[in-house]
């Protein structure tokens, strides 16, 4: 299994398994099957609402002796509603209890968006809306306040490494001014329609490993009826990608994932199908020619799908805490 050395000293598997939109009724089984297929990294989050079931899949695999806890790399994320400094540790502990774990390998700030606290007894996961319907209520917590609380999770042994997700360059530079512990990873939307070369260069320069999510681009966002996701050619059918798949004797999905891993990024594809689990894992140890990597990068359209405003209306009521 190819790994990436993090600035925290730990090795992170370069290919992992994403848990977004893995339904509760199949999540435990999916995680268990993915471990059997060879996955060691699981990318979870409070917001995915399936951490209990993901933990059950892990527990089963450990109980059956397929894997040991220390061979796994479990990633989770702090949701927006828990950015206030005093909310970070309690929610991280709840998430660990949900997973049935004593520590995370990596815990990320999911979005640089601070929302007002919603008690887990009221609604969990809280989602974007304060009332679960149409009100967006902001918190005044700064990223510095949240990051300081994230650092204390490392000091208390609740997570080995901490990182960020959906951050852009200016905010990363700001965070690096006060960070006692630098972010180990930056998780971003990254596929040939959204390449973000400058952001990746910045992260590399600062020693922050980059994890690419939604590697198949629009495919993951069709179900949200996003017009720009259905209007563009699906990446798995795009002719540059399909002709390279033919050339290398691989699947289009593997070309997309290898394009990322060969450039040093980690990937976390998600699938419920066992044959795809296997092929998505086989995306290191063989190479694309540089000219072919460049051809894929040239598909860039700066087209972002995972935009917060795609999940709520700008007409929603915004209030400050």
Q: Which is nearer to ligand NAD, 177 or 270 (CB)?
A: 270
CB of 101 to ligand NAD, least distance (A): 17
Q: Which is nearer to ligand NAD, 212 or 290 (CB)?
A: 212
Residues 233, 219: Cα–Cα separation, whole Å: 10
Q: How far is CA 233 from CA 189, 240, 251, 292, in A?
A: 18, 11, 17, 19
Strand partners for 13: 3
CB of 288 to ligand NAD, least distance (A): 17
CB of 317 to ligand NAD, least distance (A): 24
CB of 219 to ligand NAD, least distance (A): 5
Residue with tokens 């891993």: 261
> Among all residues, which ones are annotated catalytic?
48
In the complex, residue closest to ligand NAD by CB:
18
CB of 272 to ligand NAD, least distance (A): 7
Q: Which is nearer to ligand NAD, 129 or 190 (CB)?
A: 190
Residues 283, 262: Cα–Cα separation, whole Å: 9
Q: Which is nearer to ligand NAD, 264 or 317 (CB)?
A: 264
Residue 146 CB-half CA count within 13 A: 29
> How many CB atoms are located within 10 Å of the residue 185 CB?
24
With H, G, I as helix, E, B as strand and everything else as coil, classify residue 36.
helix
Residues 280, 252: Cα–Cα separation, whole Å: 10
Calculate the dihedral angle through the C-alpha atoms of 178, 83, 89, 53, rounding to the nearest 10 degrees. Answer: -130
Nearest by Cα to 104 from 144, 54, 142:
54
CB of 268 to ligand NAD, least distance (A): 5
Which tokens sit at 194?
């959204």
With H, G, I as helix, E, B as strand and everything else as coil, classify residue 258.
helix
Q: Which is nearer to ligand NAD, 56 or 166 (CB)?
A: 166
Q: Which is nearer to ligand NAD, 24 or 156 (CB)?
A: 24
Q: Which is nearer to ligand NAD, 22 or 86 (CB)?
A: 22
Angular region, 134: left φ>0, alpha ψ -120 to 50, beta rest: alpha
Residues that bind ligand NAD (CB under 6 A): 18-20, 43, 110, 165-166, 187, 213-216, 219-220, 236, 253, 268-271, 276, 279-280, 306
Residues 267, 210: Cα–Cα separation, whole Å: 9
CB-based contact 187:213 (threshold 8 Å): yes
CB of 82 to ligand NAD, least distance (A): 15
Terminal CA-CA length for the chain: 46
Total residue length of the chain: 321
Residues 76, 108: Cα–Cα separation, whole Å: 6
């Amino acid at each position: 299994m190819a790994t990436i050395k993090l600035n925290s000293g730990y090795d992170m598997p370069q290919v992992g398994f994403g848990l977004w939109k893995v339904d509760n009724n199949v999540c435990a089984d999916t995680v268990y099957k993915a471990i059997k297929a060879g996955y060691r990294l699981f990318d979870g989050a409070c917001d995915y609402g399936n951490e209990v079931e993901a933990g059950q899949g892990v527990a089963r695999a450990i109980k059956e002796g397929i894997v040991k806890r220390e061979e796994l790399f479990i990633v989770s994320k702090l949701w927006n509603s828990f950015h206030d400094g005093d909310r970070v540790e309690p929610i991280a502990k709840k998430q660990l209890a949900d997973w049935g774990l004593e520590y995370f390998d990596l815990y990320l700030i999911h979005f640089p968006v601070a929302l007002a606290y919603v008690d887990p007894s009221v609604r969990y996961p809280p989602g974007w809306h304060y009332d679960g319907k149409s009100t967006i209520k902001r918190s005044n917590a700064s990223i510095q306040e949240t990051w300081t609380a994230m650092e204390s999770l490392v000091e208390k042994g609740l997570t080995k490494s901490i990182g960020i997700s959906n951050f852009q360059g200016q905010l990363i530079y700001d965070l690096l001014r006060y960070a006692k512990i630098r972010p180990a990873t930056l998780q971003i939307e990254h596929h040939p329609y959204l390449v973000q070369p400058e952001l990746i260069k910045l992260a590399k320069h600062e020693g922050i490993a980059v994890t690419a999510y939604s590697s198949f681009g629009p495919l993951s966002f069709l179900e949200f009826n996003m017009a720009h996701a259905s209007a563009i050619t699906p990446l798995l059918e795009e002719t540059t990608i399909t002709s390279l798949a033919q050339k290398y004797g691989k699947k289009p999905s593997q070309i997309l994932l290898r394009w990322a891993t060969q450039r040093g990024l980690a990937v976390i594809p998600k699938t419920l199908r066992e044959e795809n689990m296997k092929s998505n894992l086989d995306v290191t140890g063989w190479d694309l020619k540089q000219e072919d990597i460049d051809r894929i990068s040239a598909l860039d359209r700066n087209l972002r799908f995972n935009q917060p405003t795609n999940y709520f209306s700008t007409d929603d009521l915004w209030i400050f805490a």
